A and B are shown apart, each in its own frame.
Chain A
Amino acid sequence: MKGKSLVMAVICVAVCFMMGSPLCFGAEPIKIGGIFALTGRAAHIGTSQRDAVLIAIDEVNDKGGINGRKLEMVMEDTESNPTKAVMALKKILEAEDVVAIIGPTLTGTAMAMRGFIEKEKIPAFMHSGGDVILKAPLKKDDPTSLPKWTFKSPYKAADAMGKICQYMNKHDIKKIGFLYSNEGFGKDGLRNVKVQAPKYGVEVVAQEAFAPKDVDMTAQLTRINAKGVDGVIAWTVGPAMGIIAKNVKQLGIKAPLFECHGAGDPVFWKVAGESGEGVMMPSTKIVVADQLPDSDVQKKKIQAYVKAYRKKFEHEPGTMVAYGADAAFIVVDAIKSVGPDRAKIRDAIENTKGYVGMSGIYNISPDDHNGLSMKDIVMIKATKGGWKLLD
């Protein structure tokens, strides 16, 4: 008798063990769609955001998934191209039963996907920098037709711009030139700087554009410099970040160079080289985690995440990893609390309050599908291949 109950106990333990183990997930996995710029000019951002999301998914699955169901990401590449982004979205929606979309990376691709997302009624947490994806009405003639299903994890570009202008105000920079890439993100920056700069007593005396794949911006910078500016803001991501830094050094422009909130990434040093030294930019705290004061509520969480990131990918995370991670964790939390139902997930995301993320503290509401504010942003300076936290 004793032997029999022992055998039963062993079987019980074994069954329990197997039910908790990944081998024994009986149920279908819950699928989310991941759409990133894995190739093309924003590839360095897209791939690091994908990595950030993968870490979040690993973490969930290591802890047994969501109600015994594994979480799985179906991934597509936008090739940094709006048309391809829409095709990628359609492909995922037709082929797979996904409950939410994470991504895309670029503002242009997000704008192209947005209408489709709203029509399909699927929650999408995007990583795009531009605010226009939340602010531009869906129907031209109806200003109240704002997106209901679209969210974005990076803080508002307007706040990032405001942060730069605030810093300029503090350091007596009054006349600036604005250099932007001639596509969605850059134009969004131009709109923002026109609103934010006057608030902080900064005047934009020159504005110049360039094509995202241009290899030389000295013509534009010469024009800006001729106006006698005491600060330059360059609003772009990708190789142009480095080319501009090099061109500024080449032309001997003394005015300090500020770049956008996407520049705080290891790739900045790859494209800028030594010319990157001294360039300032707004950033998430993830790149300066160790320099944060201990009183910062995000510090511990960020440090733990950075550790996991380093271990899995063997390199330093860039500023935009934070956006990918936050979008993924908030979506995962929503799925955990309401189950795999698109409409309920949307509502849950919209009700996220006080979530301590990598990029800041999210307070999402029906009027604000981003939820971060200017105080979540820090100013950093490119120093010796790394980053220094500014006051």
Chain B
Amino acid sequence: MGLSEQIAQFIITGLSIGAIYAIVAMGFNIIHNATGVVNFVQCEFISLGGMFMYTLVVLLRVPMFISFFMSMAAVALIGALIERGPIRYARSKEIIILIFLTIGLSGTLRGTAQQIWGTDNVGVPAFSGENPIHLPVGATLLPQHIWVFGVTVLVMLALRHFFKNTMSGKAMRATAVNRKAAALVGVSVDRMVMLSFALSGALGAVAGMIIAPISTTSYDTGIMLGLKGFAAAILGGYGSFSGAIIGGIMLGVLESLGAGLISSQYKDVIAFLVLLLVLFLRPTGIMGHGESERV
């Protein structure tokens, strides 16, 4: 196998992992824009998405397509409930307190998931077979990788449509820019915040479900993906949607190229060195602009 084929393989691999990071980063951003909080429950959204999918598809034998939307709805509901309960009724609205609250919630959810599903990693069948596809550039990928790309693109387009063209989406953006002004023109700010948690939940679940057939899933599989997604969000510029995509893809490709071309031993070191470098030169991230416009 020649070097160009190898590089093609590294990039394909990097893109598919990067797409997952991008979706996760998007989840972090949506909640950040609505509340200013870094929501660490995002990690659990990913694990829960994967585990619900496993329960429905493998244990209950529900068709894949239906399971996908059921899991997504279930995790979105959990996201909404988290906002409805602990976040809304927290006695302090200090950002730092709320962030710690999400860390606590994340632990609680993980512990509960562990009690329900145990600690084993479990596999989920691929959406459409496991026969490798050979690309003309010399790289191979699984049908599941195409699903990962496809679903990511669809999710991004849907989000774009939602934020640009629908009333709820516009109201959410208004809330992000200025909470008080949004309330004054009749936007139900509370509902928008809840919606942002539900949306993040759905995004996390999607990420967890599309990666599960490739990487297997477990009650704590979201920790690593969540942290990488968080790093991607920072890299792209925290709060920026296009930044989430760029940051995610960049992190994924860097990791893969670093492992493939330089040294697999220092894979994460290489990726995170670039992250540090970018933040050093551009503290707001690649697509971030100055002061973040949180509420």
Contact = CB atoms under 8 A, between A and B. Distances in A.
A389 to B, nearest CB: 25
Interface in B259-295: 259-260, 263-265, 267-268
Contact of A239 (B9, B114, B218): B218
Nearest to A275: B130
A166 interface: no
Given A39-B114, A209-B265, A267-B120, A219 B132 contact: no
B87 interface: no
A213 B265 CA distance: 13
Given A39-B114, A213-B224, A250-B140, A218 B121 contact: no
A43 B6 contact: no
B64 interface: no
A183 to B, nearest CB: 11
Contact of B216 (A40, A220, A271): A271
Nearest to A218: B13
Interface residues of B, number: 40
B169 interface: no
A222 B8 CA distance: 10
Interface string B1-32: 10000100110011011000000000000000
A346 interface: no
B68 to A, nearest CB: 19
Given A38-B119, A250-B140, A219 B256 contact: yes
Interface residues of A, number: 38
Interface in B98-119: 114, 118-119
A223 interface: yes
B264 A208 contact: yes
Interface string A20-41: 0000000000000000001110
Interface string B190-233: 00000000000000000000010011101010011100000000
A274 B216 contact: no
Given A215-B225, A219-B13, A249 B122 contact: no
Interface SS, A side: helix
B9 A218 contact: yes
Contacts of B9: 218-219, 222, 251
A273 B212 CA distance: 12
B121 A219 contact: no
Interface of A: 38-40, 43-44, 47, 182, 208-211, 213-216, 218-220, 222-223, 225-226, 238-239, 242-243, 246, 249-252, 267, 270-275
30 contacts: A39-B114, A44-B120, A47-B118, A209-B267, A210-B264, A210-B267, A211-B267, A213-B223, A214-B267, A215-B225, A216-B214, A218-B9, A219-B9, A219-B13, A219-B257, A219-B259, A219-B260, A219-B267, A220-B260, A222-B1, A222-B260, A239-B218, A246-B214, A249-B132, A250-B140, A251-B9, A251-B132, A252-B134, A267-B121, A271-B123
Given A43-B119, A250-B141, A272-B123, 20 more contacts: A43-B120, A47-B119, A210-B267, A213-B223, A215-B225, A216-B16, A216-B256, A222-B9, A222-B260, A223-B6, A223-B264, A225-B1, A226-B6, A239-B121, A239-B216, A249-B130, A252-B132, A270-B216, A271-B121, A273-B125
